[in-house]
Amino acid sequence: MPRMIARRVLYGFLILNVMTVALFVMVRMVPGDPVRAQLADASVSEEQLAQLTAELGLDDPIAVQLSRWYANAARGDLGESYALGRPVTEVVAERVPVTLELTTIAVLLGVVVGLAAGAVSAARRGSWVDNIVRVGAALGLSMPNFWIGLLLISFVSVVLGWLPPLSYRGPTEDLGTNLAQLVLPAIALAVGLSASIARMSRSSMLDVLGSDFVRTLRAKGSSEFTVFRHALRNSLIPVLTLIGVQLGALLGGTVILEQIFALPGLGRTVFEAVGNRDYPLLQVCVLFFGFLFITINLLVDISYGVVNPRMRASSR
């Protein structure tokens, strides 16, 4: 297990470096001048624009800019936001908690609903419950999360006559308001995840329920609850893999949903940084998303040994 973890950490480090170089090059190939984007409403001469471009180091070759970014990052300096005039680490530290809270709630909703629906569907194969779960999962996978978010806003505002608060309040300030702000975007994020988990857990449960060890349990007179419990645990490995993979879609979904629901999170920051051509802020936000994705997948790999002891033994 320690050797596997070390190998995964090394791969993660290499992936982050590849992301850094690729993102550094791609954002600078996108049309648009970050200096003009910041001074769109100001009357400045071409000489002043050139001077500011030189001060920001944007007139240097990309290789020089990249080496300077790595040198500064090694000292803990990830740059300042062009639009906000603040260190990007401060901006990210302020906005990460909102995105983490939203994503955590969405994952909990998606896992609980998806596992329950998939397990019940497998246990009641061919019944009307199974048909409803299968159709619901297909619908959930076919609808983009931002469209679900807009539908939820329309439903609660027109049918229920209620709108979530538009000014964000943290959980330590007002927990009730905080949950009211996050429940709709969390549901919109969780729909696709729960649909994927329901389909995967149903398929995995059906495979396990048809295996030899389940037939042996039933032959020994074990109750259906005992059979169901053992089958559910043995069907979790592909579901864990799916959760790790789907995390990328969840993080990507926050970019639009936080904009729609006016949440001051990291996803909305990415959206604004792209519009402002704010290279330093965009770079750090995307790298943080990449770091979070790699870390969660590492934890998923470690959890395999908990779910399946044979994998833990084979990794020694």
pLDDT along the chain (316 residues), means of 10: 79 89 86 73 70 80 89 89 88 92 92 90 87 92 90 82 71 82 91 92 85 79 77 79 83 88 90 88 91 85 65 52
The domain 88-314 having CATH identifier 3.40.50.450: the answer here is: no
Q: Residue 122's pLDDT is what?
A: 86
Q: Residue 40's pLDDT is what?
A: 63
For residues 7 and 12, what is the distance between their CA atoms, to the nearest angstrom?
9
| Dihedral pair phi/psi, residue 268, rounded to 5° | -65, -35
Q: Residue 29's pLDDT is what?
A: 82
Q: Residue 164's pLDDT is what?
A: 66
Q: Residue 307's pLDDT is what?
A: 59
Q: Residue 262's pLDDT is what?
A: 86
Q: Residue 30's pLDDT is what?
A: 78
Q: Residue 310's pLDDT is what?
A: 57
Q: Residue 241's pLDDT is what?
A: 81
For residues 108 and 103, what is the distance between their CA atoms, to the nearest angstrom?
9
| Dihedral pair phi/psi, residue 168, rounded to 5° | -70, 135
For residues 178 and 273, what is the distance between their CA atoms, to the nearest angstrom?
25
At position 250, the amino acid (one-letter code) is L
Q: Residue ranges of the domains in the chain?
A: 88-314
- Kindly write down the DSSP assignment for every residue of 209-271, as one continuous string: HTSHHHHHHHHTT--HHHHHHHHHHHTHHHHHHHHHHHHHHHHHHHHHHHHHTT--SHHHHHH
For residues 262 and 271, what is the distance between their CA atoms, to the nearest angstrom?
12
